[in-house]
A and B are shown apart, each in its own frame.
Chain A
């Protein structure tokens, strides 16, 4: 008989979590409640006697100062009560730590069938209807995919029984087996593929069939008791050939056709021509580029004896389905990439980027989650994933746009660090050799993540495990991280990679290529619960697992360390040079695939790409006169959701753990302005730093993705230079998020245009990486950012996200004490604009506010700009610059205001002095988003030296910083066009999200 321990805060203590739920109920659904209090529940399914139970209640689980607890129901006077617990099979970390604590106290061991399950009771007072209570349960408290819930009204409550004893134990009454699959014809295999959600690409099917029909393959298979392909094998091939793992789109053949000029061009493989080729070319000249284009993350030199690693990816679809779970799994997942790079790197930083629909969206469409809830969930997911990993999260971006109602974008980026040598070996190299043991460390395998999104449509029974969305578990992973770093230091790791998409199939399949073969005993893989089929064990995406190759002679020590860190590690097979990947289950072979099969000539994907330039698409410059009230206009711009303060996000993220914070996410006198870049000191005894900055602005894609990409790369570069980044060390990470580019006359009628947009973006990526000499240390693409949203009449409307590129730049800073921040520092400092302002308002925040897109998108003349960037770097290194800031969204007007607000100082500005194209009106000078510009303040005593550095450059002094906090802007005709109190500007900027914590 299980016991149920209920624990709640004492009545006189405010329940902050309850208050948060009340706020959400009000914000999301306009439901008023009087009080919500939470009772934690531990359902203890173990043979403990009353004395033991009482002991764990008082000694461990009840804080006598703040809590009260009982083994009988605690909820008494309420209107509604909601119970929320996990579905069977969902990882219950708190349940496991409860077991650990109980075992420790009672000096007992739980049996294999014993466990503790955690759940929560929400005790609600308030006059709600049942529908409203259900709504709170379904939409705020529970996540349908991983949790179950029950709603009780006081009238149907049994105060003796309470919620009863709910034990979400998985019972899979199923004997695991491997099925064979008939491959009589392409058509048949195609049908099976679709029935089993294998998602085999049509053009791959004949190749797969031919392989299994080959005589020498048949012969070899017979030796192992195999004939027809098994489901294990087809699942494996499907995973390996997926766009996610294989990047078939980026490796595709694009037939590009410019509909204006008639120019036609075939682009064979965007990855090879626009990413790999320029990166290799740059690597030749940059000896700090250590390892690129093959491992889980790129590797660059930090200093002679230390490398850093960096990579980024997205977790869009899962976050769109379940914001919290998707995001936490995303950040915890990306952390495994640097951990699995080279022989393993220690995590030092994480970054985030969110693109979502407007937070106050009240239009016709019904997104799966309203953007406000979605954003809340995503923010919380990254918070818990990052903070609990002990890794600082000092930088990130947020962008609102209606196009992301269809699918949100969640970017996660991670950096690690490792010594350049481990023993006598280079840390960035790794290989597997025959005889090496295959070890799986970390979490256990369940049905999680099998078949990704297709699983979402399945129905759930009472004991069926939850499927595809997972909840990342930073605790389990942190333990594994600490363990692996110690094992690496001792030189015990020969090869390491993470289990992400495709699970073991991908980690072992790819690592076995080095030794040219492997044999795995699937029954040795530790499972969360029995009953998984062989193919499920092989492709499950259960989180927090790494695959490691260890030499037999190092096994004992490896296992000893694993035990010390309380991490589960299991030998599940061995690498060999047989030329085959072989999987066995209890002595029977269930898969045998030639190692070279996946490298055979699968047909390349093909795309038609038709480019229609903006003007042919009907885009024009708007007809706009000069405004009368520039000040009001500026304040209004500052309150726009994509400009205003979003500080509540950065504050929830621990950005100082590890003790090396140098430039924080929020800077300025009141520490409330967004920094251009983040800088950390990864080795505490050294004054060398790593800087990172990111940029994204898909609105420019409405005009031309070539220039969107160019501007984004330039923006990220400028941001990193603004804090003191080194122009000779700029590492890039490209994260593309694109709507589907496969043309379909009904489902994707503009697919050809989207394909052309992708080609053009890649061309710009190639051109500007070469121009700024940025090797692409890492990158990833996510190709299907579309959604079909329900409208008011039950119709479904397709919403495609704007083609987006998040570009990350990393740099090494020789001396962090020379870093600078963006805010004005002292009165009388001189204000300079570096770079020319042109008539480039297409896609600008200003035009958007006026309801236009425009035509004149900013263009980047890298050749022109580069010398200016070098001069800025020199000036910063020589200590001549008080503050520097990259001018981006909102133009000079917005960014002058931000600099003044940051320092809580005023400025007198002469707009006419800004370097600009002839005859630009004041509003255009103020709000143009021309690339290549900085705002810089310089102490008067350093004026001469500063200007000397920039002789012949396009820079101008446009004013001074003033003591009185008023921003005064003189128009080019001499009239005072803005005179605004800096505190009022700040109010406008703070207002939209100022109430959020």
Chain B
């Protein structure tokens, strides 16, 4: 069985690379943190950094280029004008791309999302300033669209994850939002604790996203972007109410030692998809 290889971008102010790398490893991938400059300059010259040898490409969280000129804008242009071709081929090859928080912002600026009719060049949706006008770190409940083709959310109906951003308000034209729903490209929506949609209510919907949209995928379901951070729920103790939950588990005679967090499921889905597809 050859390994499922993941590449996590680093550098220029990106900052969730270690935990994203860790989450992918937990999920069974062989993951590498790779500096944007290495990826760009060594393409072709260094076989270890040849994008085509990887299966999962991760645009992680952070503040790439300080988020000046709009979150993800400069990273997107850096990628497009240096290795745009390689990234396109990666997608054409049927591989997986996930963008988390700043990475989601980069994917929409690259045009990889929403990728209507598999046009991966066009900026059609945006993540703009939170309605509150401020950065927020809070845990959200997400409702997952059961009909979405998204590879990453297979068999997940609800999940709790943290958000940490100042520019996470999902915005697009009414028609485009309609198309997103019609194509089941809306993957995750902010919800309340009961699992019902937040209907724009703060802080359940922490940023004012239209239609409570927290994450979307391309029509193939192989490119996924979301504002919440699955890699930050890599262990049971990441959950804000774990000390309370622990007592319930203990009553059932269960230990919480080495219990992974729900966020890992998203990465495991990706790894399993690749395994299945490439019989890796």
Q: Enumerate chain A interface residues (CB-CB to B < 8 A).
A: 9, 13-14, 16-17, 19-20, 40, 59-61, 63-67, 93-94, 97-98, 100-101, 104-105, 118, 383, 387-390, 474-475, 478-479, 482, 564-566, 651-662, 664, 666-667, 669, 671, 681, 684-685, 687, 816-817, 819-821, 823, 825-826, 879, 882-883, 939, 997
Which residues does chain B contribute within 8 Å of A13, judged by CB atoms? 128, 171
The chain A residue sitting closest to B76, CB to CB, is: A60
- Within 8 Å CB of A475, what residues of B? 13, 63, 65-66
Indicate if the CB atoms of A479 and B134 lie closer than 8 Å: no
Instruction: Please give, as numbers and ranges, the residues of chain B lying within 8 Å of A16 by CB-CB distance.
Output: 129-133
Q: Contact at B37–A659, with CB atoms within 8 Å?
A: no
| B residues in contact (CB < 8 Å) with A | 10-16, 18-19, 22-23, 35, 37-38, 61-63, 65-70, 73-74, 77-78, 81-82, 109, 123-126, 128-139, 162, 164, 171-173, 229, 231-232, 234-238, 240-241, 243-244, 246-247, 250, 255-258
Contact across chains for B136 and A651 when beta carbons are under 8 A apart: yes
- Residues in A whose Cβ lies below 8 Å from that of B12: 479, 566
A97 lies within 8 A of B66 (CB)? yes
CA separation between A939 and B129, bound complex, in Å? 46
Cα A667 to Cα B243 in complex, Å, equals: 10
| CB <8 Å contact, A65 and B22 | no
A668 CB, min distance to chain B CBs, angstroms: 8
How distant is A545 from chain B, measured CB to nearest CB, in Å? 18
Contact yes or no, B74 A684, CB < 8 A:
no
In the complex, the answer to whether A658 meets B18 with C-beta atoms within 8 Å is: yes
6 additional A-B residue pairs with CB within 8 Å, beyond A390-B63, A820-B243: A20-B134, A67-B70, A478-B15, A566-B11, A653-B135, A684-B22
Residues in A whose Cβ lies below 8 Å from that of B126: 63, 65-66
* B77 proximity list for chain A (CB < 8 A): 59-60, 101, 104-105
Question: CB-nearest residue of chain B relative to A390?
Answer: B15
- Contact among B62, B78, B164 for A656, CB-based, below 8 A: B164
**In the complex, which residue of chain B has the Cβ closest to the Cβ of A671?**
B240
Instruction: Chain B residues near A685: list those with CB within 8 A.
Output: 22
Q: Is the CB of A64 within 8 A of B65?
A: no
Of residues A654, A816, A826, A882, which shows the largest number of chain B Cβ atoms within 10 Å of its Cβ?
A654
Per CB-CB distance, the 10 closest pairs between chain A and chain B, nearest first, are: A390-B15, A659-B19, A16-B133, A94-B68, A475-B66, A65-B126, A20-B133, A97-B65, A66-B126, A684-B22
How far is it, in angstroms, between the C-alpha of A772 and the C-alpha of B122 when the chains are bound? Answer: 63
In the assembled complex, the CB of B198 is this many whole angstroms from the nearest CB of chain A, namely 16
Q: Are A98 and B68 in contact (CB under 8 A)?
A: yes
25 contacts between A and B (CB under 8 A): A16-B132, A60-B77, A67-B70, A94-B66, A105-B77, A475-B66, A478-B15, A479-B13, A565-B37, A651-B136, A653-B135, A656-B137, A656-B164, A656-B232, A659-B22, A659-B23, A666-B240, A667-B240, A667-B243, A671-B240, A817-B256, A820-B243, A821-B244, A826-B247, A883-B243
B171 pairs with A66, CB closer than 8 A: yes
CA distance A218 to B18 in the complex (A): 56
Measured CB to CB, the nearest residue on chain B to A56 is: B77
On chain B, the residues within 8 Å of A40 by CB distance are 69
Which A residues touch B66, using CB under 8 A? 93-94, 97, 388, 474-475
Knowing A565-B37, A660-B19, the reply to whether A654 touches B164 (Cβ < 8 A) is: yes
> CA separation between A566 and B235, bound complex, in Å?
34
Cross-interface CB contact of B69 among A97, A390, A817, A820, cutoff 8 Å:
A97
Instruction: Tell me if B63 and A651 are in contact (CB < 8 A).
Output: no
B16 adjacent to A105 (CB under 8 Å): no
| B123 in complex: contacting residue of A65, A667, A826, CB < 8 Å | A65
Instruction: Report A-chain residues with C-beta under 8 Å of the C-beta of B237.
Output: 661-662, 681, 816-817, 819
Q: Determine the chain A residues whose CB is within 8 A of the CB of B229 once the complex forms.
A: 656
- Contact residues in A for B78 (Cβ distance below 8 Å): 101, 104
Does B247 contact A882, Cβ atoms closer than 8 Å?
Answer: yes
Q: How far is the CA of A564 from the CA of B41 in the complex (A)?
A: 9
Most central of B15, B66, B241, B243 by chain A CB within 10 Å? B243
Contact partners of A63 in chain B: CB under 8 A? 70, 73, 109, 123, 126, 128
Closest residue of A by beta carbon distance from B202: A997
Assembled-state Cα–Cα distance A829/B14 (Å): 45
Shortest CB-to-CB span from A716 to chain B, Å, is 21
| Chain A residues within 8 Å of B130, by CB | 16
B235 touches A681 (CB 8 A): yes
Looking at the complex, which one of B131, B135, B257 makes contact with A654 (CB distance below 8 Å)? B135
A118 to B69, CA, bound (A): 10
CB contacts (< 8 Å) of B173 on chain A: these are: 65
| Closest chain A CB from B252 CB (angstroms) | 15
Bound Cα distance from A655 to B232, whole angstroms: 11
A118, A478, A821: which contacts B13 (Cβ < 8 A)? Answer: A478
| Contact between A652 and B65, CB atoms less than 8 A apart | no
User: Which residues of the partner chain A approach B133 to less than 8 Å between Cβ atoms?
Assistant: 16-17, 19-20, 997
Let me know if A104 and B82 touch, CB within 8 A: yes
* Cα(A93)–Cα(B250), bound, Å: 51
- The answer to whether A819 touches B243 (Cβ under 8 A) is yes
* Alpha-carbon gap, A879 to B82, bound state (A): 55
| Residues from chain B with Cβ under 8 Å of A65 in the complex | 123-126, 171-173
A98-B69, A383-B135 known; A656-B162 Cβ under 8 A: yes
Chain A residues near B38 (CB-CB < 8 A): 564
Instruction: Report yes or no: A9 in contact with B128, Cβ–Cβ below 8 A.
Output: yes
Chain B residues within an 8 Å CB radius of A825? 243-244, 247
Picked from A19, A100, A482, A667, the residue with its CB within 8 Å of the CB of B11 is: A482
**Chain B: which residue is nearest A18 at the CB level?**
B133
Are the CB atoms of B18 and A387 closer together than 8 Å? Answer: no
A478→B12 CA distance, assembly (Å) = 8
Contact between chains at B241 and A669 (CB < 8 Å): yes
In whole Å, how far is A670's beta carbon from the nearest beta carbon of chain B? Answer: 9
B134 lies within 8 A of A997 (CB): yes
Which residues in B have their C-beta under 8 angstroms from that of A821? 243-244
Nearest CB in chain A: distance from B76 CB, A: 9
> How far in angstroms is the closest Cβ of chain A from B135?
5
Q: Establish whether residues A479 and B63, one from each chain, have CB atoms under 8 Å apart when the complex forms.
A: no
Q: Which residue of A has the minimal Cβ distance to B37? A: A564
Report the bound CA distance from A654 to B63 in whole Å.
Answer: 12
Expressed in whole angstroms, the Cα–Cα distance for A661 and B23 within the complex equals 14
Which residues of A lie under 8 Å from residue B246 when comparing CB positions? 817
Give the docked Cα–Cα distance between A164 and B271 (Å).
55
* B246: min CB distance to chain A, Å: 7
Nearest-Cβ distance from residue A384 to partner chain B, whole angstroms: 8
Look across to chain B and name the residue whose beta carbon is closest to the beta carbon of A997.
B132
Contact residues in B for A59 (Cβ distance below 8 Å): 77
Using Cβ atoms and an 8 Å threshold, which residues of chain A touch B236? 817
Complex Cα distance, B124 from A654, in Å, reads: 29
Chain B contacts for A60, CB-based, 8 A: 69, 73-74, 77
Q: Which residues of the other chain, A, contact B131 by a CB distance below 8 angstroms?
A: 14, 16
Shortest C-beta distance, A902 to chain B (Å), equals 10
Residues of B within 8 A of A883 (CB): 243
Cα A660 to Cα B11 in complex, Å, equals: 20
B137 touches A652 (CB 8 A): yes
A565 close to B241 (CB less than 8 A): no
**Nearest opposing residue in chain A for B261, CB measure:** A659
A671 near B81 with CB under 8 A, answer: no
Assembled-state Cα–Cα distance A659/B20 (Å): 8
A1 → chain B closest CB, angstroms: 23
Bound CA span A241–B128, Å: 50
CA distance A566 to B11 in the complex (A): 9
Residues of A within 8 A of B164 (CB): 387, 654, 656-657
Indicate whether A657 sits within 8 Å of B65 (C-beta atoms), given known contacts A475-B13, A482-B11, A564-B37.
no
Complex Cα distance, B238 from A687, in Å, reads: 12
CA distance A101 to B247 in the complex (A): 52
Q: How far is the CA of A93 from the CA of B64 in the complex (A)?
A: 12
Q: Which residue of B lies closest to A879 (CB)?
A: B250
Give the residue name and chain of the B residue nearest to A473 (CB): B66
Known A65-B123, A101-B77; contact A671-B19, beta-carbon cutoff 8 A: no
Check if A659 sits within 8 Å of B234, measured CB to CB. Answer: yes
Does A659 contact B73, Cβ atoms closer than 8 Å?
no
Given contact pairs A13-B171, A478-B13, A817 touches B129 in the complex (Cβ within 8 A): no
